[in-house]
Structure 1
């Protein structure tokens, strides 16, 4: 098929690129002031593309892509200068040479370069420069994109490299053997067919959320699923107030705390996603990805293949990767499953089951009971008390180590059998408190106390008391007549 042949050729070109996100991301909303500088080398003729054609490419097609993909939140504005023949050869070129010489020529032609934040350099194939496309940050903080060769003078290529300037990583795919997250999986670069950072079409929902085009003020929402239920997602390409994607918790890295989510979105072959028409089931089912925001704000997204190993050719295998109507995907480890109930031109309906969230930890004061002898004792006697502690925290709390303390009258001794009791919510335990009164203590009722504390703070501070009665020294004697 002609479309498949064209796609494969472009994919092959993409695989040859060397690009990485900029150290400082560009503004992702509003007007992006951009200058396009066309440069030629001393040892080659200028391409046949006219400045007017390339101006329309950048400020027409590329800007239109960003306007549509951002739900009308960003666009490019500016001017195109050149062609300029710079004193550099195709075999000796570097990005810094192209930028400095191109800027010098554009300024001489009347360009006010200080008014631009983004610079796009287009030039014929130069073997001395990185093949395909790339970008960096210039000496004045400007974002620079370099497109090497007329094969890269396309909306997709320029939009892709500008995506890196916005801080996006490549959108990859996960190639597994027996299932979407099968026994053996390989992350394959550039294989997210339905994303300009890997193939063609709109950036995926994970990427758009990072850009502030989804789930931000004035932007369409993403529904974060926290409870099982039936959810609707609108078609992805057009503005609206309904959810454009579902975001479902998948896992948390125990070492770093980084969260991974499932992102579900429903594409239609319209606008800049029209290129997806006829590519398997990518516009008839729900596309499923994982997204992880890693250290430093760098994000990784992976398109999952819901029908793994259906085609021996990797580039084609992902084309039927969407989850079709009536099909269910389950992740037992995450306690998650979702089923596509229906899909039409306007959106899709998905049933989602998620594990019940853990109960919240609600702390409460422990219950303390201190019991001991009920009859009076002689001064200097030893009495044994029992201290019982009950943990009344909610079931969502972990076990608590309660520290125990005792109080006895001055000159008396009191020894706890245990100074700590570790209890789970709803459980109880006890220890002894052995008290020896002073041999000189007078007849009276004395207070013996016990208390608790824990690292949870004041909520676990509690106390209990009991009585130690000392009998009168004449108690029990007969009266002489």
Structure 2
């Protein structure tokens, strides 16, 4: 979920040893490693494959509860050399590089003054030796693009719990597969091709890499394009995250994940990480859409399953869908600060036709996205009693980001910081000019209805021109 963003001082680099990650206020989890500290001097270089992973907090401990932000989250990264042990590195320093890239990094130390040999090491320099090869999404003879191997595991001698093999298999083949098929308009077809009941392992959550490796060897799982190893870990096992997954690059990458829940939304969320997605988070600023006095809260975009993995699985945000190629180019309208004043109609995001996304790129290259949410399709729960946060239908504004927050919801009706904990209303109000990127664009929603939202965008270069005449909404006032 959210990320550890600060670098550390220089010092003695060390190899990864039982890597500890705390997910928000959730349980700790450990990742690949189990080697002794090394005595190489600061400035040592390591070359290998970059891996990003995310350890999840329990939904009750994530966004919207007790003001959790990015202070102690589950974003992690390591470099796996061709031979030898993995080296844990600062995830924030590597966030702009994709999983699977071959990198050369020059290492510093962990946190200044710390004796913790399990810390991520500072990255003094980084070079990309080779980018990952693009993975095409191919269908096997059964029509699947993504094949899931399910294994129920009771690690380190703990007892099995009451979850059954059929329970996990049916969840993956049912609501999980349905979600990804709908979000991709049929391009992603996943299903369980192999499953195994309760399997004892020596490794536990204290070393997730070793756990995955042991399970893979035991059941004969072969890593590869489109292949996913889904481990359900007994609820009796200590020291586990709510869920944990490797971050891939495309929907064809494949990957490994574990969960301690049967929740379909959690499994959908973790597969989203395997597909290359980070979290759908939110930025709140004190009385402003953007600027100073802001905080970014991981998971807080409750519209999207890549936010908090709760039972209400909303559509992927347009930054997320575009990131992994699930949003057709013909359904995206793009504007820059050099373009003319434009009035357009956004179709509902939960549909499959029309212009479903408006992309705004400012002079610095930052990308903002506008989408229109209605209480239909995957978002049909909006406005119902099930939506206890009272999320609004309407036009929403997001900024594209890097790991761990690849989609960031901005509040178009910002309130004071004192109200942040209970303020989940973020839709653009009708008839009000909303600045984007500090005024690089101005957006006015002219009218909304179940059929679409009419909005006018004024880029910086045309800001002095007469504003577009508000159009009488040809739409009803039904959706707001």
Q: CA deviation at 1:63?
A: 1.3
Count of paired positions: 329
Higher RCO (Cα < 8 Å, 6 or more apart):
2
Gaps of 5+ in 2: 1-56, 77-94, 101-131, 139-144, 464-480
Q: Answer yes or no: is 1:327 the counterpart of 2:376.
A: no
Q: Answer yes or no: is 1:228 the counterpart of 2:345.
A: no
Matches within 5 A, 1:11-410: 11-13=60-62, 18-19=74-75, 23-24=99-100, 29=137, 31-41=145-155, 43-88=157-202, 93-107=206-220, 117-125=227-235, 129-136=239-246, 143-150=254-261, 153-199=262-308, 200-216=313-329, 220-225=330-335, 226-240=339-353, 242-252=354-364, 259-278=365-384, 279=387, 282-292=391-401, 300-309=406-415, 312=418, 314-317=420-423, 319-331=424-436, 333-356=438-461
Q: CA deviation at 1:11?
A: 4.8
Aligned residue for 1:86, secondary structure, equals strand
Post-superposition CA distance 1:415-448 (Å, at most 9, x none): xxxxxxxxxxxxxxxxxxxxxxxxxxxxxxxxxx
User: Is the 8 Å Cα contact of residues 33 and 116 (structure 1) preserved in structure 2?
Assistant: yes
Larger Rg: 1
**Counterparts of 1:353 and 1:51, CA distance in 2:** 55
Aligned CA-pair RMSD: 3.4
Aligned residue for 2:304, secondary structure, equals coil
Aligned residue for 2:460, secondary structure, equals coil
**Counterparts of 1:23 and 1:345, CA distance in 2:** 39
- Matched with 2:90 is none
Q: CA deviation at 1:311?
A: 8.1
**Counterparts of 2:137 and 2:225, CA distance in 1:** 17
Post-superposition CA distance 1:253-303 (Å, at most 9, x none): xxxxxx1122110112333323443556644221111224x6xx9974321
User: Is the 8 Å Cα contact of residues 227 and 354 (structure 1) preserved in structure 2?
Assistant: yes
Q: CA deviation at 1:215?
A: 4.0
Aligned residue for 2:268, secondary structure, equals helix
**Counterparts of 2:224 and 2:430, CA distance in 1:** 53
Measured at CA, do residues 192 and 185 of structure 1 come closer, stay the same or move farther in structure 2, by a change above 3 Å? same
Aligned residue for 1:306, secondary structure, equals coil
Q: CA deviation at 1:325?
A: 2.4
**Counterparts of 1:115 and 1:285, CA distance in 2:** 38
Q: CA deviation at 1:67?
A: 1.1
Q: CA deviation at 1:113?
A: 7.4
Measured at CA, do residues 333 and 113 of structure 1 come closer, stay the same or move farther in structure 2, by a change above 3 Å? closer
Q: CA deviation at 1:332?
A: 8.2
**Counterparts of 1:137 and 1:285, CA distance in 2:** 31
Aligned residue for 1:38, secondary structure, equals strand
Q: CA deviation at 1:186?
A: 1.4
Measured at CA, do residues 74 and 28 of structure 1 come closer, stay the same or move farther in structure 2, by a change above 3 Å? farther
Measured at CA, do residues 121 and 271 of structure 1 come closer, stay the same or move farther in structure 2, by a change above 3 Å? farther
